[in-house]
Structure 1
């Protein structure tokens, strides 16, 4: 990382592209609007953080539109830097809560390496720590001086490392649970699979696929940001706007779209009455369950 007196500090080392920023304002607005529709229709209030993250992106890229003609404006730089930086931790908060809800829905608590009663607390606490560190680092960097930028860099890099560590642990937890429930499926898992007849985007495995893809995208983005900030204000990545749009903006739009497609509450939002009716359907009779779970003689 560059030393305090070895860089020629600039807010931007390019003129922010108005066209690119407008495109992503539109893209984030579309997917966020659909998330609002899905959230309200399914009453998936645990996805509120995800919607707030999308809103942060919209405001952040609107500020980048304004930055095209106001490259020296510290307030505009500050808002876009902080909001675009903080959106992914908000996505992560909702993603973490989904796994715990899915495990409870499938009544598969025994198959999780992290006790479900602690799962949301553990991962969301890590996410909050990462969020606060990145918010503090982004705020300090946005003050517009060389010394504060370097201090903010260190704090932000620390926050990204925390986020990467918890995300890696989360993905391992998710993958191990997936392996175990495929080997020893619960009655509820078989019921959902039988009801949906292979519609992967609306199955419990579809939820896990969505979590995998979204997590990998956020992980890739966080690695990019970690390298970018480690290089300093005069680094190669931060000096070329295209990298931000490829390895942050595009990946985060895809993250939101992936969750639109594999929306967890399509499965998790079903009522107890509906689930009870499914358990009584011929498709999931006792014989059928034995055949699917391998418990028959």
Structure 2
């Protein structure tokens, strides 16, 4: 493993915390994989890959406990943990588009459904590329100047993510308000299942997951804006409270309110939904 004389960590990474979260992400990712196979929900592939990223990241972090100067391990734990939420976001964006088509509420969406998923996923891809580039510069360099450059590239990527997630939440809420006021027949039929197993429960899950990712992204912006000697990055507890815990909760929420419970097996999904599914598959391949 390559090593650096530059101080990569302001502390010795906790072995116990890294192992605990690696194990937690293994459990929830395995369950997501089971749900995906059972329901044939291809649009959740990026979400599962995000879980795998978390596992790799925290495993690398656990090994970093014994090799605090290894730039290879530092790069792995930095990049995989940093980029996982973008993969969660890709699936979340796809789910909203499928909900709208499922309910035949295209006329109630403020963004045309044929563009909705593409717009948000493209924003996610931009954020992913910026954070990946910044993380690569930051973790592979022993230079303090390049480290700062990498941190600010990551901040730019996180700001893009915050911008698109904010727009996504507003778009979701406007659609939610409109379809509540002008419910389609499909929306009324879905309510027969009862909350939270209908579209209202699934939208609530998307709100919760989105807010958790927003909290995590705000934490990361503060962390990288303060720099490598800042208070936040110098205290490992913030990583586990505002990143690891938030992202684990995102995965648990989507385990509990899996989209397939609402979106699968309903005869009202027509050829538009099939086209949406094909578009989602193309976006998955592009994103992953």
Q: What TM-score do the two structures reach when normalised by structure 2?
A: 0.90
Q: Which residue of 2 aligns with 1:265?
A: 260
Q: Which residue of 2 aligns with 1:130?
A: 127
- 1:109-158 deviation digits (Å, cap 9, x = unpaired): 01100000000110000000000000000111001321221111111000
Which contiguous aligned blocks of 4+ residues in structure 1 show a shift greater than 2 angstroms?
none
Q: Which residue of 1 aligns with 2:250?
A: 255
Alignment of 1:78-89 (within 5 A): 78-89=75-86
- 1:214-256 deviation digits (Å, cap 9, x = unpaired): 0000000000000000000000000000000000000000000
Residue 211, structure 1, aligned to residue 209, structure 2? no
Residue 50, structure 1, aligned to residue 47, structure 2? yes
3-state DSSP of counterpart to 2:25: helix
C-alpha separation between the residues in 2 aligned to 1:202 and 1:271? 13
C-alpha separation between the residues in 2 aligned to 1:258 and 1:99? 16
C-alpha separation between the residues in 2 aligned to 1:226 and 1:9? 22
Q: Report the CA distance between 1:209 and its aligned residue.
A: 0.4
Residue 163, structure 1, aligned to residue 161, structure 2? yes
Q: Which of 95, 98, 121 matches 2:92? A: 95
Residue 242, structure 1, aligned to residue 237, structure 2? yes
Q: Which residue of 1 aligns with 2:282?
A: none
Work out the number of aligned pairs and report it. Answer: 265
Q: Which of 226, 233, 246 matches 2:228? A: 233
Q: Report the CA distance between 1:201 and its aligned residue.
A: 2.8
Q: Which residue of 2 aligns with 1:142?
A: 139
Q: What TM-score do the two structures reach when normalised by structure 1?
A: 0.87
State whether residues 93 and 124 of structure 1, in contact with CA within 8 Å, keep that contact through their aligned partners in structure 2: yes
Q: Which of 31, 55, 62 matches 2:59? A: 62
Structure 2 gap ranges (5+): 271-288
3-state DSSP of counterpart to 1:169: helix
